[in-house]
Amino acid sequence: MTDAQVEIPVPEHLRRWHELDPATVERGTVGFVWGNCQAESIRRMVAPAGAAHGVEFVRLPPVFEMTEGEVDRLHELVATAGVLVTQPVKDEYRVPGCGSEQLVALLPTDAQVVRVPTTYYEGLFPWQVHAHDADGARVDAPLTDYHDLRLLRAAVDGLDVEGAVDRVLACTPDPAAVRDLAARSQAELRRRNAALDVDTTDAVVAGGAEAMWTVNHPANDTLRAVGAGALAVLGWDGEPAVPDHQMLGSAKAPLDAAVLAALDLDPALARPRWVLGGREVPWAEVAGAQLGLYAQRPDVARRAVDRYADRLAALGC
């Protein structure tokens, strides 16, 4: 067998998706949840209720992992689906035909659609941002995926690891700026959710310090609002199936005590360091890895610092 003929094994959790044959799927008996890293958690919550109503929710890769060929195949399967639960995905976001409304247009006329949010909230993590290259492509940070504005500016200022860590630990943000960012982030979340069938803004606010693990990884109680809302729209009785473990809690970002205090939340819930896979990661380890990237890609650090200059100035760190 040549290299070109080598087959890549199908992961066990995606085997059903790969085995589905659009030609033999009974119309209305499958459902899909489409979107980003939150989509699989939503699928897990609604799948038991779906099974009780004769709909099998088949696990998909997230949109950012799908190839053009896989999206073409999804088009064929969506044309047989009974339910589509979808987060907002722009037309041609990554590959042709991957937009949420492009999928909706392919559904049978009697299929049900539930539009749910992509919950993104910056209020608890004022320094956590994404960074991009000159072409606008996202550049993930080593270890955490997310960048920290304090480390980005430390890189631009030429600080070493020790100096960068000292800057992080010495930073006390302006309380008014923290509150302003949280208020604006809540308002933006509600604005984006207004056209959808479900709104998670109230769940984020009610969850306080425990609403989110990162800016785009909600805690189970926040996700529960999505599952409950989807079931209500579908007219299905029962509660969403929420597991005991945190579905998106493998990476937990630091929670600063001063940020919590500014938001009138309990500073005792502060988390001083990243927790990755259950391990507390020292700031020196994070700084070392990320400053290494910025040394190789100074354009990434500079672009992010310029983009968020107003936030850095307001926070005062």
Number of domains in the chain: 2
Whether pLDDT at 8 is above 70: no
Sequence letter at residue 196: L
What is the per-residue pLDDT for 26? 92
Residues 145, 31 share a domain: no
For helices 149-156 and 283-296, the axis angle rounded to 10 degrees is 50
Domain assignment of residue 236, yes or no: no
The residue segments making up the domain with residue 11 are 7-115
Q: What is the structure's pLDDT at 6?
A: 47
Residue with tokens 């209720």: 49
Range with the lowest mean pLDDT among 37-41, 135-139, 279-283, 311-315?
135-139
- The values of phi and psi at residue 214, to 5°, are -145, -175
Beta carbons of 267 and 139 less than 8 angstroms apart:
no
Residue 145 domain-assigned (yes or no)? yes
Token output for 48: 């038991």
Note the pLDDT tens digit of each residue in 253-290.
999 999 999 999 999 999 999 999 999 999 999 999 99
Place 7 in a pLDDT band, splitting at 50, 70 and 90: low
pLDDT of residue 2: 47
Mean pLDDT of all residues in 163-167: 97
Residue 75 belongs to a domain with what CATH number? 3.40.50.12080
Q: Which pLDDT score is estimated for 300?
A: 97
pLDDT reported for residue 199? 97
182 and 309 share one domain: yes
> CB-based burial of residue 240 (10 Å sphere; 0-12 exposed, 13-18 middle, 19+ buried)?
buried
Between 96 and 204, residue with greater pLDDT: 204
Distance between CA atoms of residues 8 and 3, nearest Å? 11
Strand partners, 274: 281
Give domain status of residue 2, yes or no: no
In a shared domain, residues 136 and 104: no
* First-last CA distance in the chain: 58
One-letter amino acid for residue 12 of the chain: E
